[in-house]
Structures are given as C-alpha cells and as structure tokens.
Chains A and B, each alone.
Chain A
Amino acid sequence: MADPSGSETLPIRTSTDVVQVRQAVRRAVTQLGFSLVDQTKMVTAASELARNTLEYGGGGTVRLETLQEGARRGLRLTFEDQGPGIPDVERALTDGYTTGSGMGLGLGGARRLVNEFAVTSEVGVGTRVVIARWK
C-alpha cells in the first residue's frame, strides 16, 4: 500500500507478481502525468527488471518512489534481490548477453528506456538495480 511519502514496496515472487509490478508502475506514471510513450517506456523497463529479479535473483522486491525536483516530477524504482549476483556488470549490460532464457536485452535494454540507471551487485549477496524516469 502507498504510504504518505509516496513510496510503495511490492514483492516479486511469481510471474503474476511481474504483472502486478507492471500495473502498479502504470498507475504511478499515469498519476504523474507522463506522456503515453514515456509511460510505456517506464512500464516496459519495469517489466524487464522485475523478470530479471525473478529469474536471475530468485525473487525479491521493488520499491516505487515518486520524485519531485523543482517543477520536475519523476518515478524511481529500486529492484532488490538476494540472489547469486552478477559477476561482471559491464558485460551484463551489453546486448545479447544472457545466462537465462531471455533475449539478453533485459538490463541493457531497460537502461535505454530510462533517464537514470544504476546497478550494484555482489556475488553471493545480491543485486540492486535503481532506475528513474522524469516527466
């Protein structure tokens, strides 16, 4: 549920949760007044990263936060898992790199859809991906 500060945390345990994440992100960006194209980009990025969290991280959570900086408004998503971690983040960001069943566009593709993108990962500890998109 959304708390007063405008942040919301959702679990990512099943493929139905990925759908829930998409819908929650769609609600958030619609409320922020994003254009349809910007909405679609953010929801698609969220879908890619939520699936990554599920498939490679063994499940985790996503936190949605609305941002305000002067007149600018935006949305930040933080995906966290306690999975095996990514040994080589740089390589994971290149297109076509995949260890799973995807097309290898997850991370690199999601990066192109947002304004801010950061990955921190430690082998054996987990991965955290933070993205933000401004209106």
Chain B
Amino acid sequence: MERIPILKMGEFLLVTIQVDMHDRLALQLQDDLTNRISQTGAKGVLIDISALDIVDSFIGRMLANISLMSRVLDAATVVVGMQPAVAITLVELGLTLPGIRTALNVEKGMELLRAYAAGVASGGGDGGANVGADGEGADGGPVR
C-alpha cells in the first residue's frame, strides 16, 4: 500500500507531501505520524507542503488533527511552505486553521521547532512564526 514517507532527524520527524493525496492516503499519514511520535518520543513534527498545489477542507482538517494529536503527545507541529495561491484559497474557503503553527520554509520551520524544544518559544502566541533569523538575539523586550 502506498504511504507518505516519514523521516526522523534527531528528535524531530519530517514529512514532505509531494503527491496529490486522496483521502485515504491522508488518513493513513495521520495514523502513521501519531504512531511514530509515540514510538520515537519525537519533540516536533515538520510537515512540508510546498509541493501541494491545493489544500482543501479535508487536507486542512488532517493538518489540524495532526497538530492537535501531536500536542497531546507532547510534540510541536509546524506546517511549512504553503503556496500563496493555496493560502488565499484556504482563507476564502473559510479555513484559517488557527491551531496550526506555520513557517515559510523548512529552515525556518526547524528553527521554530528547536526553539519550542528548548522551551524558549514565546508562550501565549497562537502559532505566528515570530522567531527571528538570529534566534540567539531574541531576548527582546515586551512584544506588544
């Protein structure tokens, strides 16, 4: 049966979705990922969707579910690389996915995960990517 591969990099799991997923494949990924988190005790999950040319409500829900489930398993999830056209369409569709953390690309996503794992990530935020390029200087004053 076809599956989306999940890579392990240190304490993080990395998934790159490159195919136009049918719904069963998406559900399979959701299962596989939660299993791997609990098996490996991963601290974070990075899902790269830069190759996806659409995200509909089903895929959106899958991403939200993965994010919620991994949180229960004490792992942070970051979705990276969403294309502008996809983002515009999702918003128009009415799906703003407030529970999902996002980053522009894999590099920034990994920074974000490392920051969460190190426990220095800002607390109250709902997932806006507000860790800067030079993380070591991020002791900044009150943000708002």
Contact = CB atoms under 8 A, between A and B. Distances in A.
Contact of B54 (A40, A51, A95, A106): A40
B89 interface: yes
B88 A44 contact: no
B61 interface: yes
A40 B57 contact: no
B93 interface: yes
A109 B93 contact: yes
B88 A22 contact: no
Given A15-B23, A109-B95, A37 B57 contact: no
Contacts of A81: none
B60 interface: yes
A39 B85 contact: yes
A108 B56 CA distance: 13
B94 A37 contact: no
Nearest to B26: A15
B144 interface: no
B21 to A, nearest CB: 8
A112 B85 contact: no
A18 to B, nearest CB: 6
A112 B54 contact: no
Nearest to A18: B22
Given A108-B94, A112-B93, A103 B85 contact: no
B57 A43 contact: no
A113 interface: yes
B88 A40 contact: yes
A44 B94 contact: no
Contacts of A39: 85
Interface string A41-52: 101100110010
Given A15-B23, A41-B89, A95 B94 contact: yes
Given A51-B56, A103-B61, 10 more contacts: A18-B22, A23-B20, A37-B89, A43-B54, A44-B55, A48-B56, A51-B23, A95-B94, A102-B58, A105-B57
Interface of A: 15-16, 18-19, 22-23, 26, 36-37, 39-41, 43-44, 47-48, 51, 95, 102-103, 105-106, 108-110, 112-113
